Structure 1
């Protein structure tokens, strides 16, 4: 018997998904799979549920949700031999899309049943993991507005982006030194990516790979509103480097030092994080998570 645990975020995406044992056993045969269903009820809950599943000897642990839920489950599986299954029912689904995991639930089930494992790189921000990307500046502000909205849709994301565009100059002043080298005052954006997709098929780092042992880094200094709009267009056509101010490079490790400003406001896999540490080591752990693809 294969013990397979489903960790479900009931409010992900439309919030209308139902993962009952009766429903799942239509696709995961009772004579082959022993099914356990767990519901994640608050931020961070999926971490504890995954730890329980590891102790209970689950052979496969499936995250049913968006990038936030997937991050919580996957973070707990880093360095183990237990593969992560993904049923992408969130709004953006950036990691699942990068891994070619279908958004169709039944097709995602068959992907899990095929049991084809692959190992991927994992990004680290001090002691926190990310699998798609982390960002500071404009991207973090967008996520803050997005989390405050009532709906998790592409339209909500666009509205949040427009709100961030209008209010971006009102942020607290911050100064960041990158790798002890260049200091950036009030950067428009610092974006560090492990994968080639943000979600909704947008990309700041179209050349990024989950398996190259490198992080793709984009830095955009403080720019005016017209150049912000132009940069948005460049992202839409997946050519962010068209803006001449963009600095793009690949590294195994990035160090950010906050010289001025109250906190690092970041997004980590599409979830807002307010980080009080003044020094951030952002690095990559090569091939340290198994995923079913």
Structure 2
């Protein structure tokens, strides 16, 4: 018997999808697949539900939601032999898109039923796991504004981007050292990626891979507002490297230090996180997660 547990974020995306055991059963084989559906009711509840599913000897645990839900579920599965399944129900769905998992429920459930497993790398920032990307600077401020907006849509994302552009000069100046190199004054973006997508099929690191054993790092120096608009266009066409103020490299470890603040505003897999320290240590845990993907 293959025990499959579904951890569902009911407000992901537009929050209208029906999600019961009866809805799912036609896609699986009675007597072979034993299904359990658990509904997340508050922030971090998906983590609690996943931990209980591990104790209940689930063979597959499916995160049904966006990148935030995936992060809560998958963080519990690092180093276990339990496979992560994904039903993309969020707004951006960056990790699912990178893994080529379709949004159409029938096709995504076929991937779970077929049980094709691959190993993927996982990022770690000060003890917290991330699966797509993490960053400080503009993208962290953008996510902060996006979370406070009423619309979790591409339009809401664009509006949050405009608000972040408007407020960019209000940010506290920072001095950041990356990997003990020459300090960089107030960089616009530092993005560390494990995945080649951020959501909505946008990418700042299009060559990043979930299985190459390396993190892709993008650092963009402080730039003018005109250059910010140019950067926005380059993101749309996946040519950020055309911006001369950008620098990209691959590494297994990144150390970021801020001498002018005792906390970092960061984004982790598309969610705003305040980390109460003036140092960030970011590393890679190679091939530490089993994930179900198309064959």
Give TM-score, length-normalised by structure 2. Answer: 0.97
1:157-187 deviations in Å (ceiling 9; x for gaps): 1111111011111112222111111212221
Which position in structure 2 is the counterpart of 1:60? 60
Query: Which runs of no fewer than 5 residues in structure 1 stay unpaired?
Result: none
Task: Tell me if 1:126 matches 2:126.
Answer: yes
SS in 1 for 2:75: helix
SS in 2 for 1:231: helix
SS in 1 for 2:282: strand
SS in 1 for 2:76: helix
1:194-244 deviations in Å (ceiling 9; x for gaps): 011111111100111000000000001111101111111111110101110
SS in 1 for 2:249: strand
Which position in structure 1 is the counterpart of 2:167? 167
CA distance in 1, matches of 2:36, 2:151: 29
Which position in structure 1 is the counterpart of 2:86? 86
SS in 1 for 2:259: strand
Residues 66 and 93 in structure 1, CA contact (< 8 A), matched pair in contact too: yes
Which position in structure 1 is the counterpart of 2:12? 12
CA distance in 1, matches of 2:218, 2:27: 42
Matches within 5 A, 1:188-267: 188-267=188-267
Matches within 5 A, 1:81-160: 81-160=81-160
CA distance in 2, matches of 1:245, 1:153: 30
Task: Tell me if 1:25 matches 2:35.
Answer: no
CA distance in 2, matches of 1:191, 1:158: 19
Which position in structure 2 is the counterpart of 1:181? 181
1:262 deviates by 4.1
CA distance in 2, matches of 1:273, 1:184: 22
Task: Report the count of equivalent residues.
Answer: 293
SS in 2 for 1:164: helix
Query: Which runs of no fewer than 5 residues in structure 2 stay unpaired?
Result: none
RMSD of Structure 2 on Structure 1 (CA): 0.9
SS in 2 for 1:84: strand
CA distance in 1, matches of 2:218, 2:22: 46
Residues 252 and 283 in structure 2, CA contact (< 8 A), matched pair in contact too: yes
CA distance in 1, matches of 2:202, 2:41: 29
SS in 1 for 2:211: coil
CA distance in 1, matches of 2:227, 2:272: 25
Residues 262 and 278 in structure 2, CA contact (< 8 A), matched pair in contact too: no
1:188 deviates by 0.6
1:112-159 deviations in Å (ceiling 9; x for gaps): 001000000000002000110001111011100110011211111111
Residues 133 and 193 in structure 2, CA contact (< 8 A), matched pair in contact too: yes
Which aligned segments of 4 or more residues in structure 1 are displaced greater than 6 angstroms? none
Which position in structure 2 is the counterpart of 1:72? 72
Residues 261 and 278 in structure 2, CA contact (< 8 A), matched pair in contact too: no
Residues 217 and 251 in structure 1, CA contact (< 8 A), matched pair in contact too: yes
